[in-house]
Structure 1
């Protein structure tokens, strides 16, 4: 199992360059590049500078995170999604990074589950068609909040099956899986090749529907049944990667090097119980 670092974990005070250098120091295999940090980097550097870094270092890019709120958009909003997708596809060609995380929209009003499925499948199909010539693939990330249009694993997986494209899969985020009581049996029945990204994290012990990003904690220090999730991933044959992703303001205030070191240590401590690391 490879270990990745998601830049949300150092979102407030760090930069892409800083995260890369420290993740290289602490032996991460991959990084998930945040779109905002990538744009900040490109204000002072060229894409070829980033390519050169990856060409000469151990760490590699795994995914771009993220195209947000891609469904139920007006014409201008949807065009911005398409423009951002094209930008990331072009960057992906340069950096050899083929995965783009996409997030469904929140607070959509009184749409039914069938309408949500239809809209999300339509958008994923259209975006995947645009991404196909670049060799890019889209990973749908359900978010475990009551106001997210796609908020459980089974709902997201059903949509991905409906789209039925090789370049469309799912993000399994342990926090989001736990937050709205997604069912372990649904993961047990999943095709591991459709799991494009796995985010590992933990959280405080709050009721269903009450958890938010700032309740996340280091893996193994919270209430998520990581044992069931990781053992199920092993049983279904998933072996690709896990990416540590936290949005905890407390950790953003830490020294960035400490955050990246602790993220690696806590991730490996829990993952190595079920997988060989590296």
Structure 2
């Protein structure tokens, strides 16, 4: 992993406004950002234009590389699914206008989980990718942000069935840790589907008793072999961004610049050393 691949997800400091957050990310050393669309839309709702929003990022030397907000509705009534498709398509358009080419999504679930239910998820993902194909934004399924798609294996199965070049998977080290996913599942056959990566560490507690979000700790403060995981991803072909995503009350209580600095510095030991 190289320093230029480092990215910060705005959930790390999500309770601050967009301008303050971007100042903090740039000051910390980040050059790439994964802003949650709620933060962007709140800024736009204050009367700012998309052009002004792009300039806000650019003036701080920051590039938007991915974003997220909604689940994809794969079950339920046709009317609800069509409404959800339109809302997600609007998000794809906004993400493209911001200069990014990745949208991270979760999914809803059926009344009863089954392997066959993955077909409905795949159809919904294919429809969204096809509906927005001209925008050039990849749709990455985040496994474990779903009552059905709970592992890397099930997410890969969905991507395979969807059979669209813009449908892939989001790999998150926290979800990897607390789900049945194993390091052996991260191989050449699966990594080709991975569109984006979230990085975080986890405490020394049983994985099945560890919360996928609330228990995250900064890289280097937990027990995950992040160096080994990153190396496995890269050896099998991943060359995209690595975005730190934290849901830490401790970080949220810090001044924004201090929280962002800690996030950035926690990632540096994982980067390749020049020379």
TM-score, length basis structure 1:
0.89
Q: 1:248 to 1:55 in 2, by over 3 A?
A: closer
* Corresponding residue of 1:127: 128
Deviations 1:148-204 (A, max 9, x none): 211111111121122121111110000000111311111123354422110000112
Contact 1:181–1:208 (Cα < 8 Å) also in 2: no
Measure the CA separation in 2 of the matches of 1:56 and 1:190: 40
* Corresponding residue of 2:171: 172
* Corresponding residue of 1:226: 226
Larger displacement relative to structure 2 (90-99 or 209-218): 90-99
Measure the CA separation in 2 of the matches of 1:19 and 1:133: 31
Contact 1:85–1:131 (Cα < 8 Å) also in 2: no
* Corresponding residue of 2:245: 245
Measure the CA separation in 2 of the matches of 1:65 and 1:198: 13
Larger displacement relative to structure 2 (200-209 or 154-163): 200-209
* Corresponding residue of 1:141: 142
Q: 2:51 aligns with which of 42, 48, 51?
A: 48
* Corresponding residue of 2:12: 9
Which 5+ residue runs of structure 2 have no aligned equivalent? none
Look up the SS of the partner of 2:207 in the other structure.
coil
Contact 1:100–1:136 (Cα < 8 Å) also in 2: yes
Deviation at 1:66, TM superposition (A): 2.7
Contact 2:34–2:64 (Cα < 8 Å) also in 1: yes
Deviation at 1:26, TM superposition (A): 1.9
Contact 1:121–1:160 (Cα < 8 Å) also in 2: yes
Look up the SS of the partner of 1:220 in the other structure.
coil
Deviations 1:39-67 (A, max 9, x none): 11111211110122234342100111132
Larger displacement relative to structure 2 (40-49 or 227-236): 227-236
Deviation at 1:69, TM superposition (A): 5.0
Deviation at 1:110, TM superposition (A): 1.8
Measure the CA separation in 2 of the matches of 1:131 and 1:262: 37
Look up the SS of the partner of 1:83 in the other structure.
helix
Contact 1:202–1:223 (Cα < 8 Å) also in 2: yes
Deviations 1:52-88 (A, max 9, x none): 2234342100111132253324345423422322222
Measure the CA separation in 1 of the matches of 2:17 and 2:200: 21
The alignment status of 1:70 with 2:73, answered yes or no, reads: yes
TM-score, length basis structure 2:
0.90
Larger displacement relative to structure 2 (242-251 or 187-196): 187-196
* Corresponding residue of 1:188: 187
Look up the SS of the partner of 2:116 in the other structure.
helix
Measure the CA separation in 2 of the matches of 1:255 and 1:28: 17
Q: Please, what is the CA RMSD of the aligned residues?
A: 2.0
Measure the CA separation in 2 of the matches of 1:185 and 1:68: 28
The alignment status of 1:27 with 2:38, answered yes or no, reads: no
Q: 1:153 to 1:20 in 2, by over 3 A?
A: same
Measure the CA separation in 2 of the matches of 1:149 and 1:214: 21
Aligned residues: 269
Measure the CA separation in 1 of the matches of 2:268 and 2:107: 30
Deviations 1:101-123 (A, max 9, x none): 110226x43231222x1111011
Deviations 1:4-35 (A, max 9, x none): 11011112x21222211211222212111212
Look up the SS of the partner of 1:14 in the other structure.
coil
Q: 1:78 to 1:63 in 2, by over 3 A?
A: same
Q: 1:93 to 1:153 in 2, by over 3 A?
A: closer
